[in-house]
Amino acid sequence: MLERPSLAQCALLCIAPMMGSCASSVPSRVVAPQPIFRLETVRQETARTTKPVDESPKRAQRAWEFETRAFAVPSASAGSIDSRVSRFGASLTWNLRVTERTTAAVKLETERSSYKFDGLQAALPGFDLRRVDGLDVHRASVNFMHIRSKETSYFVGAGAAVAQEPGAAFEDSSVFNFQVGMRHAWNDSLSTSIGVAASTRIEEDLFALPFLGLDWTATDSWSFQFGVPATGVKFRASDSVSVALRARFEFRDFRLEDSGAMPGGILRDEGIGVELGLDWRPSPAISLGVNAGYLMNRELRFDDASGATLLEVHPDSSPFAGLSLKYQI
């Protein structure tokens, strides 16, 4: 049975039409943290242009992209419970041309999270979860895009991730996702996407989500992205500086260690991040980003090893800040 969307998901669906980060024209440097499951496809410029496909033989084109990012929520209160979160992550992407009409992106990601709690022990008697360090997410994905014509392209992708505290069983911490869809460029500035994405979750039913998205480049300076999990507007001040206002829904599930304070339990964290980001490109190969905003409609949930909920809290809206560095070869 498919899982029903949560309140946070429903809230974001009211912000914009449903869409994954596929077809995104508003790059997300460090939007709240990166989720375990993302509706993401290869975002190649060839999929957005209305120019005819070059039929002449070409040598395979390859490009590497490395990104590192940091994120922190200084404090978030839910009654007598206070939480603080910090994350650090990195990713490596290999973009390549498979055939004259097909491109692929192979991506490896890793991220480490740290949670600190005050007042949680009283709400969860018998579980000493004042601090949870070393929550790791390791993810691998591959996405393909096939250009059928100058207007239409298709995309398909799949990925796998493990999200766990050291000492948790690997096989009990794994999730898998899949997405497929179509993109149509109506002209040089407007394109739409439609498709479906699905993901497993730790000790929960399969989650599936159809998406419909829109990318619009209004002028040389202004562009808009409408969809799920990300919606935003971007202003390009110059060739090297851009400013973006973004909203994004994200969720994470972590399997806790078998012999820890909550043996084999699950920590779930989801919410909506609204942020203002500044991106600076000092050279064609390097991009620096800084962003700040608020986490809203957030839910922290503590489940036992079988997925039964032990405690659910809803922290107040809280500020966050992030940094990123991207290097392309």
At residue 10, what are phi and psi to the nearest 5 degrees?
A: -60, -40
User: Residues 4-13: what's their mean pLDDT?
Assistant: 40
Q: Which two tokens stand for residue 160?
A: 């796998």
In this predicted model, what pLDDT tens digit does every residue of 242-264 receive, in sequence order? 999 999 988 899 999 988 788 89
pTM value?
A: 0.78
Would you tell me how many other CB atoms lie within 10 Å of the CB of residue 281? 16
Main-chain dihedrals φ then ψ at residue 46, nearest 5 degrees = -65, -20
Measured CA to CA in angstroms, residue 256 lies from 161, 294, 302 at distances of 15, 27, 10
pLDDT, average across residues 114-127: 87
Whether residue 83 has pLDDT greater than 80: yes
pLDDT score for 20: 32
pLDDT tens digit sequence for 302-322: 999 999 999 999 999 999 999
Residue bearing tokens 């203002």: 276
DSSP state of 45: G
Q: Tens digits of per-residue pLDDT, 122-166?
A: 888 878 788 888 899 999 999 999 999 999 999 999 999 999 999
Sequence-distant (≥ 6) Cβ neighbours of residue 173 within 8 angstroms: 162, 163, 164, 202, 254, 255
Residues with Cβ < 8 Å from 259, sequence gap 6 or more? 167
Average pLDDT over residues 22-35: 35
Average pLDDT over residues 86-110: 96
The pLDDT of residue 62:
56
- What is the reported pLDDT for 132? 87
Pick 126 or 201 by higher pLDDT.
Answer: 201
